[in-house]
Structure 1
Amino acid sequence: MTNTWLQKCIEDIAKFGAGERGMDRLAFTESDRQARQYVIDLMLEMGMTIREDAFGNVIGRLEGTDPHAAPVVTGSHIDTVPDGGKYDGVVGVAGALYAVKNLQTRGPLTHPVEIVVFMAEESSRFGFATMGSKAMVGQVNQTLWSKAKDKDGVTLAEAMRTFGLDFANIKKAVRKPGDIKAFVEMHIEQGPVLEATGKKIGVVTAIAAPTRLKITVKGFAAHSGTTPMEDRQDALVSAAMIVLAIQEIALEQSRHGTVGTVGNLKVHPGVMNVVPGLVEMWVDIRGVNHESIIECLQDVKDAISTIAEGQETPVAIDILTSDKPVQLHEEVRTVITEAAKSCGASYQDIHSGAGHDAMNIALLAPTGMIFIPCRQGISHNPEEYADPEDIQIGADVLVETLYQLAK
């Protein structure tokens, strides 16, 4: 039986940033601020104490009986991609709130329980993913982040300032090893496996990590009508060849579960009657096999070198991020599995093709993830949907998992 409080929480958060097509609740925007305040108000109603760290992660705390015990932590994010869905991240935050609400009825817990609403999980605004959890574990490249701008030219530092935060103080968000007993994140799968198998719970074994590149191809802009074909240095032609090369290389590595995507190209000057003189392209390579990712990256570099030389179009490659796949903690996975059994929920082991804040927190504390099915595996899309009964089952498994870890 579904819980109306849990569903109302998800629907209420969806009101902030709702657009004509989908959700537009980018990090450090007004809709993000409003959604965060809604969650904070619910935490306060539950008697939790609230603090915000130096990067803007919201942390609500329910005290345990042992003031010296490390907290058991749960949560996710509420920022979205442009035209996104209303379940990605939000299910984990709403599920965490539901869990704390229910844990309060089960008697005193030894360990405190914390809910974290991570800031800027999506890379949509500033080009860096899982920023809040990276700040929490000390994985910030402050030089690169200082250059981050959104499509309107607003820098990360400027956006933080609107939230009363100082970019120079990001390092103050770091938590030390031992500060957290365990972390568990509930999330929609964002893939089709659970729906296909009919299982209600995915016990995540590993999280794929993204390697992200910005590739800049330099040609020579020239008149499209007067420049002979054989004399052209067409940056877009070279870029197209690179796109196809990445497709072929990723297909070769797909036997290891590795994928490669060119998700964005900017062509300059970008008019019909000028041979393109410059192309910027952004590439996402990810998987759970680190050796495969490395091999894929090297093959991409080799292919680009050959294309650049053959087309006489110099190419620059900037590595924006290079994260390692993360194996989740066996003992936490066992607790989740036993919780699923006790709740009567069907389950299976599964790996995550998408990155999550959990992959960063795993550097700091034993970490696990609970997946629930989403319709047709669709995510980052207005068609994203999770059945209320599936959300309920996931939340109940989360409650039991947190109870066992914090009792």
Structure 2
Amino acid sequence: MTDQPAGTVSALLAEIADIGSDPHRGGYSRPVYSDAEHELREWFTGHAAKRGLDVETDRNGIIWAWDGTPGPDAVVTGSHLDSVPGGGAFDGPLGIASALVAFDELTTRGVSRRSRAIAVFPEEEGSRFGLACLGSQLLTGVVNPERALALKDGDGTTFAEACAAAGLDPAHVGADPESLARIGAFVELHVEQGRGLIELGEPVAVASSILGHGRWRITLRGEGNHAGATLMTDRRDPMVAAGKLLVAIQALARETPEARATVGRLEPTPGGTNVIASRVDLWVDVRHPDDVVVHAVVEQIRQAAAALAAEEGCEVSVVEESYSPTVDFDARLRDDLVKVLGGAPVLGTGAGHDAGVLKNHVRTAMLFVRNPTGVSHAPSEHVEDPDAEAGATALADSLEFLITR
């Protein structure tokens, strides 16, 4: 992403290519309200100001960049800037850079400056405080502000403390019907998280749906003890139960068509090399197009956890930390955008997005841009420069349709 023409998506992404790079994991680690994410927010607000957009940050930390006077029925696009640990360069920032370029195109085309905006949502990934799409969930009132403010990151910092450090008043965090009422339609552009467009030979698709998905924390408790002084027959080792459970979760998901179950995080306590753990926490992500099936798989996992814990003389608890039901995007808006984009393909996604949270409150759509690797949430995530520019043009076409209809 170097030596690209000014004003292109590729050139904008090149400007932030060094921000939040992770030498240990590879890729980028840009948790919400970290130094890296603050730098990205400043990068965005600087570009918005250059374009004459009026920038404001609301009480939930969402940045709004307005072209025209804020008002009802505004056409809004946007995405996020935070990342998972060791994530790719495009998940989030592609949508923000594309929005800036799309607004440039609308200006060049002379499209009416009817109220429109770019929104940057915080903590979309949930990588710091464990609750995905936190900004949009607070905006819409889906999540209780007291619960959100009490969330803690890995260092014990609460979300309330992080908000205060970022210049927000925790007392004002929560549902914001006034801001929500300004959105007439929302279109989010995102890198594709899969290989659908590669198989179809197309650069851009329109989203149909998002799989129902949630996160559950499983806690296994045993007895901490000395690795050398404790006979194997005398152990109550939660790590052994956790290992067996990982295999069981994989098997259960494979037995259920279209189900996905992932354990991407496991934390033993106290975590010493020569110590039998007293406790193991692991987090399982479960997804399926049918919400009933998601909960059925989780119940199977719960039963397996109980049985495997008992085998090792351990105790277990399973707590739901978040759940987002299956989302079907506005069918009429989806079909309109397919026509506007010359018959673009329609694809579903297994990944959650702020657009999915907003769907129950405003007309919402998504565009996906081809990812030749099919990999996301990892350093090899990729978008070719011509596809990035095609995505921005498709976004501009979509926004123009909504503004002028």
After TM superposition, the score normalised by the length of structure 2 is 0.92
After TM superposition, give the deviation of residue 75 of structure 1 in Å. Answer: 0.5
- One-letter amino acid of the structure 1 residue matched with residue 250 of structure 2: Q
- One-letter amino acid of the structure 2 residue matched with residue 169 of structure 1: H
- One-letter amino acid of the structure 1 residue matched with residue 371 of structure 2: C
Q: Is the 8 A contact 2:78 2:189 kept in 1?
A: yes
- One-letter amino acid of the structure 2 residue matched with residue 212 of structure 1: R
Measure, in 2, the Cα distance between the counterparts of 1:369 and 1:172: 23
**Alignment of 1:208 onto 2:211:** yes
After TM superposition, give the deviation of residue 35 of structure 1 in Å. Answer: 1.4
1:190-237: CA deviation from partner (whole Å, max 9, x where unpaired): 212212331212211001232111111011123334434333211111
Measure, in 2, the Cα distance between the counterparts of 1:313 and 1:172: 41
Question: Which stretches in structure 2 are left out of the alignment for 5+ residues?
Answer: none
Correspondence list, 1:76-115, <5 A: 76-109=79-112, 111-115=114-118
After TM superposition, give the deviation of residue 70 of structure 1 in Å. Answer: 1.0
Correspondence list, 1:189-338, <5 A: 189-253=192-256, 255=257, 257-338=258-339
**Equivalent residue for 1:51?**
56
Measure, in 2, the Cα distance between the counterparts of 1:361 and 1:168: 23
- One-letter amino acid of the structure 1 residue matched with residue 313 of structure 2: E
Measure, in 2, the Cα distance between the counterparts of 1:165 and 1:225: 50
Q: Is the 8 A contact 2:140 2:175 kept in 1?
A: no
**Equivalent residue for 1:31?**
36
Aligned residue among 113, 127, 136 for 1:124: 127
Distance 1:33 1:400, change over 3 A: same
Aligned residue among 73, 78, 85 for 1:70: 73
Q: Is the 8 A contact 1:137 1:363 kept in 2?
A: no
Q: Is the 8 A contact 2:212 2:288 kept in 1?
A: yes
After TM superposition, give the deviation of residue 170 of structure 1 in Å. Answer: 0.8
**Equivalent residue for 2:349?**
352
Measure, in 1, the Cα distance between the counterparts of 2:363 and 2:302: 35
After TM superposition, give the deviation of residue 4 of structure 1 in Å. Answer: 4.2
Measure, in 1, the Cα distance between the counterparts of 2:28 and 2:163: 21
**Equivalent residue for 1:367?**
364
- For the aligned residue pairs, the C-alpha RMSD in angstroms reads 2.0
Measure, in 2, the Cα distance between the counterparts of 1:243 and 1:37: 41
Aligned residue among 186, 189, 209 for 2:189: 186
Q: Is the 8 A contact 1:261 1:285 kept in 2?
A: yes
After TM superposition, give the deviation of residue 143 of structure 1 in Å. Answer: 3.6
Measure, in 2, the Cα distance between the counterparts of 1:276 and 1:115: 47
**Equivalent residue for 1:400?**
397
**Equivalent residue for 1:339?**
340
After TM superposition, give the deviation of residue 176 of structure 1 in Å. Answer: 6.6
Deviates more, 1:92-101 or 1:7-16: 7-16
1:35-94: CA deviation from partner (whole Å, max 9, x where unpaired): 112211221222221111111110011127xx8651011000111222222211111111
Measure, in 2, the Cα distance between the counterparts of 1:311 and 1:384: 40
SS at match of 2:31: coil
- One-letter amino acid of the structure 1 residue matched with residue 7 of structure 2: W
After TM superposition, give the deviation of residue 177 of structure 1 in Å. Answer: 6.2
1:259-278: CA deviation from partner (whole Å, max 9, x where unpaired): 00111111223334433321
Measure, in 2, the Cα distance between the counterparts of 1:328 and 1:157: 32
- One-letter amino acid of the structure 1 residue matched with residue 266 of structure 2: L
1:127-177: CA deviation from partner (whole Å, max 9, x where unpaired): 111111112211123343233222222221111112110222112544476
SS at match of 2:186: strand
Deviates more, 1:186-195 or 1:308-317: 308-317
- One-letter amino acid of the structure 1 residue matched with residue 196 of structure 2: V
Q: Is the 8 A contact 2:205 2:346 kept in 1?
A: yes
User: Deviating runs (4+, > 6 A) in structure 1?
Assistant: none
Q: Is the 8 A contact 1:137 1:364 kept in 2?
A: yes
Deviates more, 1:165-174 or 1:287-296: 165-174
Measure, in 1, the Cα distance between the counterparts of 2:242 and 2:29: 30
Correspondence list, 1:371-382, <5 A: 371-382=368-379
Q: Is the 8 A contact 2:138 2:144 kept in 1?
A: no
**Percent of paired sites with the same residue:** 32
- One-letter amino acid of the structure 2 residue matched with residue 82 of structure 1: P
**Alignment of 1:136 onto 2:133:** no
Aligned residue among 3, 12, 17 for 1:14: 17
Q: Is the 8 A contact 1:3 1:392 kept in 2?
A: no
Measure, in 2, the Cα distance between the counterparts of 1:68 and 1:158: 32
Measure, in 1, the Cα distance between the counterparts of 2:184 and 2:237: 55
Measure, in 1, the Cα distance between the counterparts of 2:179 and 2:167: 24
Q: Is the 8 A contact 1:209 1:287 kept in 2?
A: yes
- One-letter amino acid of the structure 1 residue matched with residue 57 of structure 2: E
Q: Is the 8 A contact 1:235 1:277 kept in 2?
A: yes
Distance 1:51 1:197, change over 3 A: same
SS at match of 1:33: helix
Distance 1:316 1:372, change over 3 A: same
Distance 1:385 1:289, change over 3 A: same
How many equivalent pairs are there? 398
